[in-house]
Structure 1
Amino acid sequence: MFEVNSRSYRVLTASLIYLVAIAAALTIATLRSRAKQKTPAETESPTAEIARRPAGKPFFSLSTHRTFGTADNARLWVDYQGVDHLDFRVYQVKDPRKFFTDLKNPHQMGEQEEQEVASSLPHRKSFLERVRGFKRWAYSGIKTFVRAQLKHDSRQTFNQKFRAEAETVRTPLNVADYARVPLLNPDLLVSSWREPLPPLETAYDQRMIPLGKRSPGVYLVEAVGNDLRAYTVVVVTDLTMVDKTTRDGELLIYTVDRKTGEPRGGTQVEIVKEKKTIATGVTDSQGILRTKIEKPKTTANNADGEEAGDGEDPATEEVDSKSLLILAKQSSNFAISDLGSFFFSGYGDEEDSENIKGFIYTDRPVYRPSHKVNFKGIVRGIDSTGAYKPISDNTVNITVEDPNSATIFNKELPVSARGTFNGEVDISEEAALGSYRIVAEVEGGSASGGFEVAEYKKPEYKVTVTAPGKFVQTGQKANFSIDARYFFGSPVANAEVKYYIYRSRYYAWGYGEDDSDTTGDETETEDEYSQFYGGGDDMVQESEGTLDARGHLNVEFPVPESDQTDTSDYSYRLEAQVTDSARRTIDGSASFVATRGTIVANADPDHYVYNKGDVAKIHVKTNDYEGKPVSAKVQLQFVQRTWTKKEKKADEEENSYPEYEMHERAIASADVQTDSQGQTSYDYTTTEAGNISIKTVINEGGRQVASIGGYLWVTDRQYAWTDSSYYSEDYHSIKLVPDKKSYRPGETAHILAILPTDNAHLLVSTELTKVMSVQHVSSPGKSIVLDVPIQGSYAPNVFLNVSYVKGGDMYTSDQRLVVPARDKMLNLEIISNKKEYKPRETASYTILARNADGAPVSGAEVSLGVVDEAIYSVSPDNSGNIRTEFYGMRYNLSLIHI
C-alpha cells in the first residue's frame, strides 16, 4: 500500500505472512499419510517421524490455503512420495455450523479423536462422527482457510507445480474401487475419480489438483492410496467477511460479495466461543453488524503445553478453543472466520488497565550521589471516548527504583484537583549509578518518569558556534565563528578544533508547522514525492583548526551556487568539537540557509481536492526570508510531476533501494503581481485530472528562481483517474488525500480516495482505540471524494480507514487526519528582572501564560526550576514534551481481519 505505515495493513500483512510461513513449515514437516493408524509411540513429533521414515516409503498429504468463490476453479495441493495415483472422494458437508463448532479445536483434529474414530471405522458411524475422528488438519489447514477468505497481494505462495486442468487424465471410480477403503458416507458423496500422479522433481514439491467450479458449500476431500487416507477441507462461497476488532472487545463485521464487494445485508451472524453461542445478529442494509463481546484472554504456551517464559515468541500464543469463531450464512453461502486474543490486543499489545495518562519531570536531568531530587507530575484519567478526565483518587503512590530495580522511595502523596503532585527524594552517598525510575500509581493505571545518577564533573567551558546570519545568498562567502569560554568567563586558548559542515534541504513552508499541531512529523512534506529525492544530511566539508588566545576560530565557507533545476534552498550546518589541554571535548553547532534569491513565493489553493472543471482559487503570497511582505511579479506554472523507476545496473545489489527519475509536463501558466502586502489571488480552471504541482517562478537579476509553491489534486466527474504514478511499487494501493493540512471540530474533511479499481463498495471508518464511525460508500469510478465530519473527540488526530473487496482481493489503507487540540495548549514566557546577577543577589522572574490565541490565562499552575547551565552539558533534559505526551499523535489500535 502507498500508506506503508498504516497500522491495520501492517498487522494484516504480518499476520498473513506469518500464517503462510507456518503453513509451509508444517506442510513440509508432515508429509505422511493421513489415515494410517499409529501407536502413541509413533506420534512423538512430525519431525521425528520424517527422520525415521525409510526413503521411498509411500506417503501423501493434502492442503488448501484459501477459500474459493463459485466463479473460481477450486483447487487443492498434494504432497506425495512413492505413489503413482490417488483416488479422490469429495463430500459436501450438510451442516457447516455443526461441523466446525463440534470440533474440540477448530484449527485441527485431535490425535486422540483420530485414533478412537479410526479404530471404529467398520461400525459405520454417522458422517460427522467419522469426520471428527479422522486425521487432524495441520495448523495450516483449517486455520489458514478460515483466515484466508480472500486472496491478497501480500500473501506468499509455496513452490507449487500448477498444471492446466486439461492435462489431467482422470478415471471415474466405481463400486469396486470403494471395496478396500469404504466411503465415509455415500449419501454425501458429490464426486470421485482416480488421479494419476507423475513423479515430482524434489521431495518438497507439490502438485495442484483442480476441483473445478463448485456450488457454494463446505467440502471434505478424501484422498485414498492403498490403505492410506488423507483429508482436507475446501470452502466454496460467494460470501466473505471483513472483521474489525478493538482492545475493549468491540467487533464490527462487514459481509460482502467476494466478487463484486457489494454489501450482503440480512446475513445471519453467529459468534461462538468454546462451542457456545455468545452473540448473534443480522447485518444491516450496508452489510454491517456491530457488537461487543468479552475479549479472549491470551495464553502463550510452549511445545509442551507449559506457559512460555522469557524469550518465547509471542506469535506462538495459544488461543486454542477459547478463540472465537464467527459464522455467517446467507442463503446457501457460508463463511467462517476465527479471531484469537491477538486481534483484541491492539497495536503494541497495550494493556486494558492503562486508563491513565501522566507526565513526570524533575528539576534537572542528572544528579550526583547525596543530591536531592525534586519531582513533579500530572496524571489524568481517560474515558471511553479517549478524552481526559480528573482521576478519582485523592492520593498517588510514588515509587522510585534504582538501576537494579530496588525500591529506594515509596510514599503516598496528595493529588490536587488538577491531578498534580510533587515531592522530593534524597539520593544516598552509596547510591548505584545509572538510570532511576519514578512510578506514580493510581486506580486504573500508572505513569512514569526518570533521572540519572552519575559521578560527573561539570564541564568547565562552553562552545558557541555562530553563523554569519540566518540567510546567506548562494555564491557568497560565509564565515562561521567558533568560540570557547570557561563558565567563569576566561577564554579557552589554543584548544584543538575539528569541524564538519553538512548540507540539507530547506523548505520555507512545510506541513505540520502549526504550533498547536503536536502530532509529530509524520505528515507529508511540502513536496509530495520528497521520498524519491533522497534525504538526510550530506557532509560537504571536514577540517581542523586551533583556537587563538581569545578562544576564537574563524571558518570561511564559500556557499556553492545552486543548480538551475533546484526548486528548494539548502541549509548548511557547522558542527565543531573543541578539545582543551585537559583533553576534555565539548561540542557546538550553528547553521544558516543558503538562498537562491531574496523573495519567497507561496501558492496555496483554497482546498487540495477539486473536480475537473472546477475553479481553484490560488492564494499567492510573497515575502522576504524574514517573513516581511514584499511586492513581486510571480509566474505560476501548473505542472504534472511523475516519477519513473530507473533500471538497476548489473553491479547493483538486489536489495538496494530503487532510484526514481522525475518528469514534468506543463499544463498551464499565468503571471500575477502581488500587492504591497505581498498578496494576490488567481482563479485556475482545472482542465486535467491528476496531481498538479504549482511552481512559482520569480525573476531576480536576470535569474529565474523556481519553487514548488503548492499543489492540488483533480479528479474528473466521471471518477476516472489518469495519474497512476502514486501507486509506487504496489498496484493494489488506495491513495487517500486530505483537502487540508489540519481540521477543527465542526468542519467537514473532504478526502479524495484514489482506487485501483472502479465500481468499489467502500467500508469507510474513523478509528482510534475504537471504531468511532462507519459507513458504506459506493464509488462508480476509480476516485471519489469522501466527506468526513470532524468531531471534537478526534483531537489531536484520528485515522480514516478505507477498505473494500473486489474480485476476491482485499484493499485497505489508512490516512491520519490532524485535528490540533488548540484549546488545550498554553504558551509560557519567562521574563527575568535583570540579564546578569552578582553572587548572592536575588533573581526575580515573571511568568506569562497565554492560550493559543494569545489571550492571557489566569489560574494556571506553573513550576519553575533554576539550574546551573553546565548541568545540561552533562545530560540534556530527557523528561520529554508535555504537549506531545498528552496531545501527541495517537495510534490506530483497531485491527482488521479477513
Structure 2
Amino acid sequence: MTDLGIVVKDNADGTHNIFVSDIAKETPVSGAKVEVLGKNGLPVLSAVTNEQGLAEIADFSEFKNDKYAVAYKVVLGNDISFLPINREDRTLNMSRFDVGGDYIDSGSTQQTSIKGYIFSDRGIYRPSESGHLGILVRQADLNAPQQLPFELTIRKPNGETLASKKLQSNEFGFMEYEFSLPAAAPTGTYTVDLWLNDKNDTQRFAASSSFIVEEFAPDSLKIKANWQPEAPKGWQNETSLLAAVNLQNLYGNPAAGHTLQAEYSLTPAAFYFSEFAGYTFRDPLQEQQTRSYKDSLPEALTDANGNAELTLNLDNFEKGTYRLQLNIDGLEAGSARGVGTSLNTLVSPAKYLVGWKADGKLGYLHKDSEHKISFIAINNNLQPQSLDNLTLQLAKKEYISSLSEQKNGTYKYQMVAKENILQHRTFAIPEAGAEETLPTSEAGEYILKVLNAENQVLAKIEFNVAGAANLLQSADKNASLSVKLNKTEYAAGENIEMQISAPYSGYGLITIERDKVYAYKWFKTDTSAFSQSIVMPSGPEGNAYLNIAVFRSLQSPEIYTSPLSYAAVPFNINKENRRLNISLDAPQTVKPGEDLVINYKTSEPAQIVVYGVNEGILQVARYKMPKLLDIFLAKRALQVVTEQIMDLIMPDIRFLKNLSSSGGDGGEEETALDRNLNPFARKTDKPVAFWSGILPGAENGGSYTYKVPETFNGSIKIMT
C-alpha cells in the first residue's frame, strides 16, 4: 500500500518525465527520490522531484545486461512506490483519440529528420516539351539543411530512368531542375523522387511527386446542357427532372443524328447556401439513413437542330437530400470519342428549411454570458418565408452508464447521453426571422431543437456552458473524459481554456505534449464538470496535444468506476511567424507580342520563383498551388507514451462499509475545368508558360519580364 502516485511520460528522444503525487492529499510531491532499477535490483539512474512533483530522467535505452532498466522506484520517507517499465498494462491506450500524423523516425532529431517537397510548373506536358521542378527541403524544426547532397530522379511510366541529377541544398533549402522530354516520350504518369545521399553511401528518401505526359487532339464538337425548367436557386424538390442538351459542330452548324450518353450519381449531401453564409440548415430527413446511387440513362439521338432531352425519375430512390451530378457525352459520328459536359443540382423533397446562426462559438460559453440564436425559414428558391405551428424544445444532456453488448459478444459499460427535456413551447418564425437567447445560468451540455407539426427536427443546436457542475447521474464504469476547448488554434503565450467533464471529483494533470512534454499543470476539482486553463509555451509548431488525466478522489463515492479517466485533444498552433508575405503586381491585360512585366516584393530576404502558365493547361492538369505551410507543418503524431499506476487507486474503506446499494442497470437508453477549352489547339505553338528561375526576394522588390507570344490570346495565371 502506498500514497505515492506515479505518472511517467516517455519522450520521443528517449528521456522521461516522472510526475509524483500524493493520492490522499491530492497534491504533487516534492523531494521524492526517483530511481531507475536495473535487472539486478540496483539503481542505474536517479533524480529528485521538484516543487511541482516532476523528476527528469535521461535516456536509458542503451543500458544492457544487469543495468537493463526494469522499474521505477519512488521513495519519500517511509513510503515506497513502484512502476514497471514498458509493461503493456501500465501504458495508456491512445488509439481512441485523434493522435495520428507524421512521425519523427526513431533515432532522428529535429535537425537530422529531413522532409522535402517537389512541385512542377504546370503538372502536364506533351512529348518534346520541357518543364521545371521546384524542390524545397526542411528539417523537422523548419530550418533549411545546409550543403546537403541530394539526388533527383525522374522515372518514366515503365520505371526506366528519364533523368537523374545531383543537387546541393543552399541556405534557403530551395533548388530547381529543368527537364526535357524527347519527341518519343511515352505518355502516362512520370514519378519524381528526391533522395538524400548519406555519408555512408546510403540514400534516405526525402520527397516524391509526379507529372503527366499526354497528347491532346483538338475537339470537333461543342456541347451545352441546362435544366428545364431552370433549376431553383436552392434545391429541386420535383421527382422528375429534365435536361435539355444541344450539340454543335465547332464550325457552326448543328450536330444532327449524334449519340448522347449520360450517367448520373446521387450522393447524400448537406444544405449550404452562400446567400445565407453563417447559417446552418438541417435536413428534416437527416435521421434516415441514405446511400449513394450511380447509374446510366438510355442513349439519345440529337435532332436536326442538335437538340435532345434526357429525363431522370427520382421516385425510385429513398427520400433524402442528395447532390445530383449528370455527366453527358456527345459522340462524334461513328466514333467513341466526343465532348462532355455536366449538370449538378441539389435535390430534396423538403418544401422549406429552417436555418440558424449563432453570435459566437457554442462549444464553450461562459456561465451567465449572453448569446443569441437567429432563425430564418426559406423555400427552395432561397426566398424567406414565415412558419407557424412550430415547437421550441430545450434539453440538457445527462450521462448514465449502460451495459452494452459489443461486436465480439462481450458486454461493456459505456457512457450514454440522455436528453432530459427542460421545457418546450410554441414557436413561430416570421418572414423577417426570429431570435432566441440561450440559457447560460447553469453549467452543462444543452440541445435546442425546432420541431414542426409532424415532429420532424428542423433545427438542432448543441451548446456547452462552462463552469462547475455535477453532470453525471450514474457512474461510468469506463471513466470516460470529455474535453472541450474554447478555440482550435493558439499562439505562444496564449491561455488555453477548456471545459472538462469527468466521472467524478478528484485531482489531475494537464500536459501539452507531442514529441515531448512542453508544459504541465496540476489541478484539483470538487465537481465532475469544471473549467481549467494552461498557458501555451513557445517551442512546438504546427500542432500539439492536450493530455488530461483525472484521478478519482478518495472521498468520491464513485467506487465502481475506474479511478483514472483520461483524454488527448489535438489543437493547432498559429503559423503566422512562419508565413512569408509575397506581393505580385502585373497588368491585367497585355497585347500579344508585348512584354509582361511582373513586379514582386517579399516581407523578408528570401528566394522565390515567379512562374505563369496558360490557365487552360492548368485546368486540364487540375493543377493546385503548393501550400507549403500545410506541407511542412502537417499534423504531427503524438509520440509521448504515458505509463502510470493511477488506475490501481483503491477506494476509501469507509465508502465500502456505508454503501447501501451497489450498481444497477441504469435503465435502457435511446440511441438514437470546363472540358471544352483546348489549350493545345495549335500543335505548332509552344505552350504559354514561363519560369523565372530562383530570384532573390527582398523588401525593396524586383521584377521579372516575360515576352507574351504574338499568337497567344487567353489568360495567364501568375504564381510564386
Alignment partner for residue 464 of structure 2, among 695, 699, 713?
A: 713
1:250 equivalent in alignment to 2:15: yes
CA contact (8 A) 1:599 1:630 kept: no
Aligned mates of 1:466, 1:415 — CA distance in 2: 53
- Work out whether residues 475 and 560 of structure 1, in 8 Å CA contact, stay in contact via their aligned partners in 2: no
- Tell me the C-alpha RMSD between the 2 structures: 5.9
> Closer, same or farther in 2 for the Cα pair 1:535/1:861, shift >3 Å?
farther
Report the TM-score, using the length of structure 1 for normalisation: 0.52
> Displacement, 1:242?
2.6
Equivalence for 2:707: none
Structure 2 CA distance for partners of 1:684 and 1:417, relative to 1, 3 Å: same
Alpha carbons of structure 1 residues 683 and 457: separation in structure 2 relative to 1, 3 Å: closer
Counterpart selection for 1:539 from 286, 293, 303: 293
Q: Check the 8 A contact 2:225/2:342 in 1, yes or no.
A: yes
Cα deviation code 1:307-360 (max 9, x no counterpart):
xxxxxxxxxxxx98786434223234341322499x9x9976632155334321
1:379 deviates by 2.7
Please give the secondary structure, in 1, of the residue aligned with 2:632.
Answer: helix
Partner of 1:335: 82
- Residues 770-817 of structure 1 deviation map (CA, whole Å, 9 limit, x = unaligned): 222111112222222121334565654332111244477543211122
Q: Does residue 392 in structure 1 map to residue 157 in structure 2?
A: no
Which residues of 2 match residues 738-757 of structure 1 at below 5 A? 738-743=485-490, 747-756=494-503
Q: Distance in 1 between matches of 2:542 and 2:235?
A: 37
Q: Report if aligned partners of 2:478, 2:562 keep a CA contact under 8 Å in 1.
A: no
State how far apart, in whole Å, the 2-side matches of 1:329 and 1:490 are. Answer: 90
- Tell me if the contact between 2:281 and 2:356 (Cα under 8 Å) persists in the aligned partners: no
5 Å matches for 1:615-764?
615-618=369-372, 620=374, 637-640=393-396, 665=421, 667=423, 683-686=437-440, 689-695=443-449, 707-708=458-459, 710-714=461-465, 717=468, 719-722=469-472, 731-743=478-490, 747-756=494-503, 758-764=504-510
Q: Contact conserved, 1:690 with 1:722, CA < 8 A, in 2?
A: no
Partner of residue 35, structure 2: 270
Q: Do 1:327 and 1:337's aligned partners in 2 also have CA atoms closer than 8 Å?
A: yes
Letter in 2 for 1:327: Y
Q: Cα offset for 1:882?
A: 3.6
Per the alignment, do residues 441 and 402 of structure 1 end up closer, same or farther by CA in structure 2, a change over 3 Å counting?
farther
Amino acid at match of 1:751: M
Write the mapping of 1:24-63 to structure 2, written as runs, cut at 5 A. Answer: none
Match of 1:502 among 257, 263, 266: 266
Superposition deviation, residue 863 in structure 1: 3.8
**TM-score (normalizing by structure 2):** 0.63
Name the structure where strand makes up a greater proportion of residues: 2
Q: Distance in 2 between matches of 1:449 and 1:765?
A: 35
Aligned residues: 594
Within the candidate set 115, 130, 154, 1:372 is matched to 130
Code of the residue aligned with 2:500 in structure 1: it is A
Q: Does residue 800 of the first structure (1) align with residue 546 of the second (2)? A: yes
Report the counterpart of residue 381 of structure 1 in structure 2: 139
SS in structure 1 of the partner of residue 544 of structure 2: strand
1:421 aligns with 2:175: yes
Q: 2:53 — aligned with what?
A: 287
Question: Structure 2 residue aligned with 1:897, among 643, 662, 672?
Answer: 643
Inter-CA distance 604–485: structure 2 relative to 1 (3 Å threshold): farther
Alignment of 1:451-530 (within 5 A): 451-452=210-211, 460=219, 468=231, 471-472=234-235, 474-475=237-238, 479-480=242-243, 494-508=258-272
* SS at structure 1 position matched to 2:165: strand
Amino acid at match of 2:11: T
Q: Match of 1:591?
A: 344
Residue 185 of structure 2 corresponds to residue 439 of structure 1? no
Structure exhibiting the larger radius of gyration computed from Cα positions: 1
Separation in 1 of the partners of 2:302 and 2:622? 29
Unaligned runs of 5+ in 2: 92-98, 553-560, 645-720
Query: Could you tell me whether the CA contact under 8 Å between 1:346 and 1:894 is conserved in 2?
Result: no
Question: 2 CA distance for matches of 1:590 and 1:785?
Answer: 50
Q: Is the 8 A contact 1:360 1:447 kept in 2?
A: no
Deviation at 1:605?
A: 4.4
Deviation at 1:639, TM superposition (A): 3.4
State how 1:565-604 maps to structure 2 within 5 Å.
Answer: 570-576=321-327, 578=329, 580=331, 581-584=334-337, 589-594=342-347, 596-597=351-352, 600-604=355-359
Deviates more, 1:794-803 or 1:590-599: 590-599
- Secondary structure in 1 matching 2:139: strand
Do residues 609 (structure 1) and 375 (structure 2) align? no
Amino acid at match of 1:766: I
Question: What secondary structure, in the 3-state scheme, does the structure 2 residue paired with 1:721 have?
Answer: coil
3-state SS of paired residue (1:685):
coil
Asked if the contact 2:260–2:302 (Cα under 8 Å) also holds between the matched residues in 1, the reply is no
What is the distance in 2 between the residues matched to 1:249 and 1:267?
22
Aligned to 1:197: none
Amino acid at match of 2:471: W
Alignment partner of 1:583: what SS?
coil
Compared with structure 1, are the counterparts of its residues 577 and 591 closer, same or farther at alpha carbon in structure 2 (3 Å cutoff)?
A: closer
How far off its partner does 1:721 sit? Answer: 0.8
Structure showing the higher helix proportion among its residues: 1
- Aligned letter for 1:284? N
Q: Could you say if the C-alpha distance between residues 844 and 687 of structure 1 is closer, same or farther in structure 2, counting changes exceeding 3 Å? A: farther
Assess, with a 3 A threshold, how the Cα gap between structure 1 residues 328 and 644 changes in structure 2: closer, same or farther.
Answer: closer
The residue aligned with 2:513 is 767
- Residue 119 of structure 1: aligned partner: none
Give 3-state SS (helix, strand or coil) of 1:472's partner.
Answer: coil
How far, CA to CA, are the matches of 2:69 and 2:126 in structure 1?
Answer: 55
Specify whether residues 675 and 482 from structure 1 end up closer, same or farther in structure 2 by C-alpha distance, changes over 3 A only. closer
Q: Aligned partner of 2:85: which letter?
A: D
| TM-aligned CA deviation for residue 640 of structure 1 | 4.0
8 Å contact kept, 1:832–1:843: no
Q: Which SS does the other structure have where 1:389 is aligned?
A: coil
The structural deviation recorded for 1:705 is 9.4
C-alpha offsets along residues 505-526 of structure 1, whole Å, 9 cap, x if unaligned? 314399xx99xxxxxxxxxx98
**Where in structure 1 are there 5+ consecutive unaligned residues?**
1-69, 71-236, 298-318, 515-524
Following superposition, the deviation at residue 409 of structure 1 comes to 3.5
Contact 1:475 1:561 in 2 (8 A): no
Q: Does 1:815 align with 2:569?
A: yes
Q: Quick one: which amino acid aligns to residue 364 of structure 2?
A: V
Letter in 2 for 1:600: G
Partners in 2 of 1:606 and 1:391 — Cα distance? Answer: 41
Secondary structure at the residue paired with 1:776? strand
Q: Any residues of structure 2 matched to 1:310-329 within 5 Å, and which?
A: 324-329=69-74
1:863-891 deviation line (CA, Å, top 9, x unaligned)? 43426847866x65589754521344333
Say whether the 8 Å CA contact 1:399–1:407 is kept in structure 2: yes
